[in-house]
């Protein structure tokens, strides 16, 4: 009987030493957004009572803020541009905004290879905003938005 216990203990030790927590595949449960939850906002839009209008105002103001921060002073393009670039941003629970990625618009990226860096710099200069809030638990949460930026050249 003691031999069997020793064999099981030896097998357990051999397989137990191969355990690596980094290889675990843990999925984070998704949280559903409800109508009572508060989306992120800017103080100028926070007073609007209709959520649809408040979100629309937020997206327009945020897009305008990003466009105003873009610095194209040293950029020269060979061909005229009039195209849209989708920008995915993360609004963290502390209100900080960061760039996740931009769409693969080859026409824009061919003419302006550093467009991702220019947009990232513009976003990093934005002020903090009011983050989204899960009202059922009263917690500020991170949220992701996709904004269209229209890039035009003269």
Give domain status of residue 19, yes or no: no
- The pLDDT value recorded for residue 71 is 83
Angle, alpha carbons 103-78-111 (nearest 5°): 20
Q: 138: phi > 0 → left, psi -120 to 50 → alpha, else beta; which? A: left
**What tens digit of pLDDT does each residue of 35-71 get?**
677 888 888 888 888 888 888 898 888 888 888 888 8
Q: Let me know if residue 1 belongs to a domain.
A: no
pLDDT at 120: 92
Domain count of the fold of the chain:
1
Percentage above 90 pLDDT, the chain: 15
Residue 52 within a domain: yes
- Distance, first Cα to last Cα, the chain: 87
Q: What is the mean pLDDT of residues 110-139?
A: 87
Residue 151's closest CA among 89, 90, 102?
A: 102
Looking at the domain assignment, is residue 121 inside a domain? yes
Q: What is the pLDDT of residue 48?
A: 86
Q: Specify the pLDDT at position 18.
A: 54
Phi-psi region of 13 (alpha: psi -120 to 50; beta: other; left: phi over 0): alpha
More confident residue, 62 or 34: 62
**With the C-alpha atoms ordered 4, 10, 11, 16, is the resulting torsion angle positive or negative?**
positive
What is the pLDDT confidence band of residue 136, given thresholds at 50, 70 and 90? confident
Residue 25 lies in a domain: no
Q: DSSP secondary structure string, 61-129?
A: HHHHHHHHH---TT---SS--EEEEEEEEEE-TTS-EEEEEE---HHHHHH-TTHHHHHHHHHHTSPP-
Q: Which residues fall within 8 angstroms of residue 33, CB to CB, at 6 or more apart?
A: none
- Whether 120 is covered by a domain: the verdict is yes
- Give this prediction's pTM: 0.69
The 10s digit of each residue's pLDDT in 99-118 is 999 988 888 888 888 889 99
Nearest to 46 by CA among 130, 123, 134, 113: 130
Mean residue pLDDT of the chain comes to 81
Longest Cα–Cα distance of the chain, Å, equals 87
- Whether 110 maps to a domain, the answer reads yes
For residue 94, what are its two tokens? 């502390």
CA dihedral for 57, 59, 65, 68, sign (positive or negative): negative
Expressed as residue numbers, the domain containing 78 is: 35-152
Residue 61 belongs to some domain of the structure: yes
Residue 125 reports pLDDT greater than 60: yes
């Amino acid at each position: 009987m003691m031999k069997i216990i020793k064999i099981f203990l030896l097998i357990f030790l051999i397989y137990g030493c191969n355990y690596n927590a980094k290889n675990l595949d843990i999925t984070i449960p998704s949280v559903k957004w409800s109508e009572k939850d508060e989306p992120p906002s800017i103080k100028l839009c926070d007073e609007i009572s209709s959520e649809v209008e408040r979100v629309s105002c937020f997206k327009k103001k945020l897009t305008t803020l990003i466009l105003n921060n873009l610095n194209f002073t040293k950029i020269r393009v060979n061909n005229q541009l009039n195209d849209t670039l989708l920008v995915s941003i993360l609004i963290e629970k502390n209100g900080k905004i960061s760039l996740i990625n931009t769409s693969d618009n080859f026409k824009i990226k061919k003419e302006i290879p550093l467009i991702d860096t220019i947009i990232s710099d513009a976003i990093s200069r934005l002020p903090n905003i009011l983050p989204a809030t899960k009202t059922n638990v009263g917690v500020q949460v991170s949220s992701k938005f996709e904004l269209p930026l229209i890039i035009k050249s003269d």
